[in-house]
Structure 1
Amino acid sequence: MEQQELVREILRLKEERRAVILAHSYQRPEVQDIADFVGDSLGLSREATRTDADVIVFCGVHFMAETAAILNPEKTVLLPDLEAGCSLAETINPEDVRAWREQHPDGIVVAYVNTSAAVKAMADICCTSANAVEVVASLPEDRPIFFVPDMFLGAHVERVTGRKLDIWLGECHVHAGIRSEDLAAQLAAHPDAEFLIHPECGCSSTCIFLRPDAKLLSTEGMVRYAAQSAAREFVVATEVGILHRLHQKAPGKRFIPVREDAICHYMKRVTLEKVYESLRDLKYVITVPEEIAVPARRALEAMLALG
């Protein structure tokens, strides 16, 4: 089936199923273009709670579809490809959190949304890269905090808030692959460009040292900033899928990826063909057992309550 026909069939099935399509900013351009809403994890989490659709087709990775299912237990949540996982989420399991809790009975667990539902169920509150600083700053200062699982985002939060955190040593393989030498090369090649860098990047500290005016931002933060900035050129340090959205929201500006091969192959597993098949066959339905969903929902709602 050709792309135009696929798009027509997706739109027809979407209406027939009373469905909404949500897509992360790292998805393929054609998948972003078919979506009703494109955004980062925080925006997608909020949008999932607002929709009155019967079916949510989540064009992202597994933990994101789980989050939508947890927040919308009465809706059907579909993930077009079950193999769309996350290297960061796989770095930690519930037993790791339980072991820390046993050592810190008065501690608070902050779980980045890039975790499994089972890990979220062990947490007190969730966060995204967009609100991690706000979440940690809201917590009591006299209790230990376990931040899981991204060590680079944790270090960023620790630096900004001044709070000492216990940080799990997990990383995203894409962001960890963006090296200090990549930044240095782009700094030399584009001295007048603004630098936008995701706090999951392992080189974020180096970037701040080399370019004190660099902006550490979530994917959605990058989009908002680029749209309102007077600058015409930006170097972008995150997964390259964001470039499509940046060009859409800030037309006429130039966006240079720090690494053109900063690609999450998990994100790219979702295709238009798979979105069509997902709607046609109502596959693959993502469900979360109630004993996990209930405590995970509490942690997610505690995050969303911050605004």
Structure 2
Amino acid sequence: MSVQQQNLSPTQEIYKKISKFVPEAEWKIHAPLIEKINKIKKEKNAIILAHNYQTPEIYHGVADISADSLALAVEASKTKADKIIMCGVHFMAETAKLMCPEKKVFLPDMQAGCSLSNSITGEDVKLLKQKFPGVPVVSYVNTSADVKAETDVCCTSANAVKVVESLNVDKVIFLPDQYLADYVAKNTKVKIISWKGTCIVHEQFTGKEIEEIKAENPGIKIIAHPECPPDVIAASDFAGSTSGMIDYVKNKQPKKVMLVTECSMSDNVEADNPNVSFIKPCNLCPYMKKINLKKILNCLENETNEIILDSKTIEAARKSVIRMTEIGR
């Protein structure tokens, strides 16, 4: 008897949607965990927020809100839940805590970090501010709370250009992704002072690879993330944020597409757009993949890995995040 023929309600419909990406053998393990997680989160008035890079069984199975960094920050501020489980990486959990400091925020694995966030510290930002006195600091949301505390306003890849131009200055310090900084510099007249941080997922792609994929797949649409190197963006048909990439596929429904980003995002977008054929990248984020159903369940049951920030950091860092959400996309 196949998994789809078994009485797996309410998980049966979930599996129908993601069966292409999750083998039956794995689903037999996932299904009872999903049922238990969805039961306990209601009992504890907890909400599960999941980033687009989470695996399909998390993204489609237990997440109450699945979105990019900006949307997750906004949803964290609006939730009436007592507890927030962030299925993402550490800076995202910190950001959720900044948005609602009165709530308990948990991260299923404290080792779920980020190469971008790790590339810069609050002390680094202080030194930059000394070197460029009076120049406002725009920090990508992919940064620690310590960095956000030294920041004038945060941004995401969705609103980076809009945030920079909202300051009405001729020069900004833009941290920490060098490729996103390059992308912003090409789309604004504001002078960008950048940092040498990179995303270990997006920096692996090359323009040559994109050209080869286009040659092998006539008519394919290549959609790149701004964290990719400039030659990748130049070779692509469209460059946009996580939400922008999703909207492109949803609205344009290309016959064949490749999302130049993290693997699981392609799986999740494909599940929502079954009429589109996807050519998959193979760059997994090892940090995002530290989150799994067993860790989420443990986090819910035992309330482990709570995000703790001191009041001084929360007060300073919260301002830059709130300002970002007020500017919007």
TM-score range, shorter chain: over 0.9
Work out which of the residue numbers 241, 246, 251 in structure 2 matches 1:228.
Answer: 251
Q: How does 1:222-261 map to 2 (within 5 A)?
A: 222-257=245-280, 259-260=281-282
SS at match of 1:170: coil
- Aligned residue number for residue 79 of structure 1: 107
- Aligned residue number for residue 289 of structure 2: 268
Q: How does 1:151-190 map to 2 (within 5 A)?
A: 151-190=178-217
Letter aligned with residue 193 of structure 1: I
Letter aligned with residue 235 of structure 2: L
Native 8 Å contact 2:207 2:235 kept in 1: no
Deviation at 1:208, TM superposition (A): 4.6
Letter aligned with residue 81 of structure 2: A
Q: Distance in 1 between matches of 2:298 and 2:321?
A: 30
- Aligned residue number for residue 4 of structure 2: none
Deviation at 1:189, TM superposition (A): 1.2
Letter aligned with residue 45 of structure 1: A
Native 8 Å contact 2:206 2:232 kept in 1: no
Q: Per the alignment, do residues 11 and 250 of structure 1 end up closer, same or farther by CA in structure 2, a change over 3 Å counting?
A: same
Q: Distance in 2 between matches of 1:256 and 1:176?
A: 19
Q: Distance in 2 between matches of 1:208 and 1:126?
A: 23
Deviation at 1:230, TM superposition (A): 4.2
- Aligned residue number for residue 36 of structure 1: 64
Native 8 Å contact 2:253 2:276 kept in 1: no
User: Which deviates more from structure 2 when the two are superposed, residues 188-197 or residues 263-272?
Assistant: 188-197
* 1:297 is the counterpart of 2:318: yes
- Aligned residue number for residue 131 of structure 1: 159
Deviation at 1:231, TM superposition (A): 1.8
| Alignment deviations for residues 147-173 of structure 1 (CA, whole Å, 9 cap, x no partner) | 000000010011011221100011011
SS at match of 1:137: helix
| Alignment deviations for residues 33-84 of structure 1 (CA, whole Å, 9 cap, x no partner) | 2101111101111111111000000000000000001111111101000110
Deviation at 1:104, TM superposition (A): 2.1
Native 8 Å contact 1:127 1:303 kept in 2: yes
Runs of 5+ consecutive residues of structure 1 not aligned to the other structure: none
* 1:280 is the counterpart of 2:301: yes
Larger RCO (CA under 8 A, 6+ residues apart): 1
Q: Distance in 1 between matches of 2:242 and 2:278?
A: 14
Q: Per the alignment, do residues 43 and 158 of structure 1 end up closer, same or farther by CA in structure 2, a change over 3 Å counting?
A: same
Identity value in percent = 39
Letter aligned with residue 104 of structure 2: T
Native 8 Å contact 1:20 1:36 kept in 2: yes
| Alignment deviations for residues 92-140 of structure 1 (CA, whole Å, 9 cap, x no partner) | 1111111111122211000001100000000000000111011011112
Q: Per the alignment, do residues 27 and 208 of structure 1 end up closer, same or farther by CA in structure 2, a change over 3 Å counting?
A: closer
Number of aligned positions between the proteins: 300
- Aligned residue number for residue 21 of structure 2: none
Q: Distance in 2 between matches of 1:57 and 1:186?
A: 38
* 1:216 is the counterpart of 2:239: yes
Q: Distance in 1 between matches of 2:253 and 2:132?
A: 48
Moved over 6 A (4+): none
Q: How does 1:34-73 map to 2 (within 5 A)?
A: 34-73=62-101
Deviation at 1:31, TM superposition (A): 0.9
TM-score (norm 2): 0.88
TM-score (norm 1): 0.95
Letter aligned with residue 43 of structure 1: A
Deviation at 1:29, TM superposition (A): 1.1
Native 8 Å contact 1:186 1:235 kept in 2: no
Deviation at 1:19, TM superposition (A): 0.5
Q: Per the alignment, do residues 128 and 268 of structure 1 end up closer, same or farther by CA in structure 2, a change over 3 Å counting?
A: same
Runs of 5+ consecutive residues of structure 2 not aligned to the other structure: 1-27
Letter aligned with residue 249 of structure 1: D
Native 8 Å contact 2:207 2:234 kept in 1: no
Letter aligned with residue 239 of structure 2: L
- Aligned residue number for residue 104 of structure 1: 132
SS at match of 2:40: helix
Native 8 Å contact 1:223 1:245 kept in 2: no
Q: Distance in 1 between matches of 2:204 and 2:247?
A: 25
Q: Distance in 1 between matches of 2:58 and 2:212?
A: 32
Letter aligned with residue 47 of structure 2: V
Native 8 Å contact 1:146 1:167 kept in 2: yes
